[in-house]
Amino acid sequence: MEGTFGSTRVVLVQGDLTQQAVDAIVNAANPSLLGGGGVDGAVHRAGFVIHTVGPVWRGGDRGEAEVLASAYRESLALAEARGLRTVAFPSISTGAYGYPLEEAADTALTAVGGFLRAGSGLEEVRFVLFSEGHLAAYERALGELP
């Protein structure tokens, strides 16, 4: 599934983040940046990376949505500042950090869509979702964006 925000394509695919032919991949890291499990373990074994730390879910009233949106926006800003054209994201915070999938998908796509609509040199932002269920949640969220 695809959408267009400003002049940037947003693409949703099911797959392994570390196997994408993009300029940079964004990692769902922890504050130590030393590697962990999940997507972080796979990324540390793979290549050039933007490390971002998503929020740990604590029920939803601790600013989690704003922290998650910021993780996406700051990663995009860094990719742009480096002159990159394509960047791939995992579903940040929806594994070990426990963020509810449907809410994370809405927040992620709203943040990325808003950032790109303000004008971006990026050609493609790809979300690489590990499971069919994750892909379906992100497809629903993309389809429902105004």
Examine residue 91 and tell whether it contacts ligand APR (CB under 6 A): yes
Q: How is residue 90 written in tokens?
A: 């995992």
Q: Measured from the CB of residue 130, what is the shortest distance to ligand APR in angstroms? A: 4
Q: Which strands, in side-by-side order, build the sheet including 49-52?
A: 2-5, 8-14, 124-129, 86-89, 24-28, 49-52
Task: Decide whether 46 or 145 has the Cβ nearer to ligand APR.
Answer: 46
Residues 21-60 close enough to bind ligand APR by CB under 6 A: 28-30, 36-40, 42, 54
Count residues near ligand APR (CB under 6 A). 24
Of 2, 16, 66, 144, which lies in the binding site for ligand APR, with binding defined by CB under 6 A?
16
Distances (CA, A) of 15 to 20, 90, 127: 9, 10, 9
Beta strands in the chain (DSSP E): 2-5, 8-14, 24-28, 49-52, 86-89, 124-129
Choice among 23, 40, 61, 106 that is catalytic = 40
Q: Is 40 among the residues known to form the active site?
A: yes
Q: How is residue 113 written in tokens?
A: 């869509």
Examine residue 18 and tell whether it contacts ligand APR (CB under 6 A): yes
Q: How is residue 85 written in tokens?
A: 């054209």
Active site residues per annotation: 40
- Footprint on this chain of ligand APR (rule: CB under 6 A): 16-18, 28-30, 36-40, 42, 54, 90-97, 128, 130, 134
